[in-house]
Amino acid sequence: MPLAPAARTMIEQLEAGGGPALWEMSVEDARAMSAVMGALDEPPEVATIEDRVIPGSAGEIPLRIYAPDAPAPRPVIAFFHGGGFVICSVETHDGLARRLANAAGAVVVSVEYRLAPEARCPAAAQDCYAATQWIHEHAAELGADPDRLVVAGDSAGGNLAAVVALMAREQGAPPIRQQVLVYPVIDAACDAPSYTENAEGYFLEATGMRWFWDHYLGPDGDGAHHHASPIRASDLSGLPPAVVITAEFDPLRDEGEAYAEALQAAGVLVTVRRYDGMIHGFVSMPMLFPEAGDALTLIVDALQGLMTG
């Protein structure tokens, strides 16, 4: 399928704006750019929003808690924002978190984990795991059901959701009922065919993704460790059911789909959908892509048994 016209228009407008490529920017400038793009969203209203800070193993972890107008106890979703482990924030993903809370009728807890290069791998995953433990322990306080705990994230956040699911299996807690991986970062090798097919010209570029990994791993990081690259885990059995969403024109497409296949081969129930014509990040851009709404519906439908169980 050809690239969606809305995606082509967006990419052409970004190219016309000029400026350096992501990998030519300082980290500070890249974060400023992501904040500007995040501010373009028009988030819906949600019943209540609360900012809190919880203790973590390396300091405090900020959270933003979204509660929809739905009867308690509700499912609860630990949400991890994307941004290549380097950029973006709870603020840039505010709209997506709101839409997820409203659509799923679930409490969504968005986690402000530590970013690289100030905090290298596995710091982000450790923060997200600690936050997920806290969410489970404090579910009743949040008006949520501790037995209906979901981890979810987009891009690097999808990586973190997958890694938290692995950590929870390794530690025996907390019990996670579902993982939602939206065009997830899965493998530091960056060598899937889609890295060549979609190397440049489609918003997220292969060189930019390698720039993210360089910052996240640093000179001494182990990209082959499964807490960095979940697909490198020696055993994927016993993990929670997964929803995996990919985009056709995305360097990450093939690694996300390979992870879905590996989970299925290990006996994990998986719902996987590739969105043809789409680019990385489309789920956060409903103002441009109707497919974003369809993806949200897919996620909610896949969780429906959990939502009512």
Q: Please tell me which residue in 155, 194, 229, 284 is annotated as part of the active site.
A: 155
Q: Are 157 and 79 in contact (CB under 8 A)?
A: yes
In the numeric block, the tokens 């390698």 are attached to 210
Tell which residue, 99, 68, 165, 105, has the closest CA to residue 306. 105
Cα torsion through 138, 57, 100, 258, rounded to 10: -130
Cis peptide before 68 (omega within 30 of 0): no
Residue 123, classed as helix, strand or coil, is helix
Residue 280: active-site member: yes
Locate all alpha helices (DSSP H) within 144-289, ordered by sequence: 156-171, 193-197, 206-217, 253-265
Residue 167 identity: M
Residue 281 identity: G
Q: Please tell me which residue in 93, 136, 226, 280 is annotated as part of the active site.
A: 280
**Tokens encoding 159:** 């990586």
Residue 187: active-site member: no
Q: Please tell me which residue in 127, 145, 250, 254 is annotated as part of the active site.
A: 250
Residue 226: active-site member: no
**Catalytic residue ranges:** 155, 250, 280
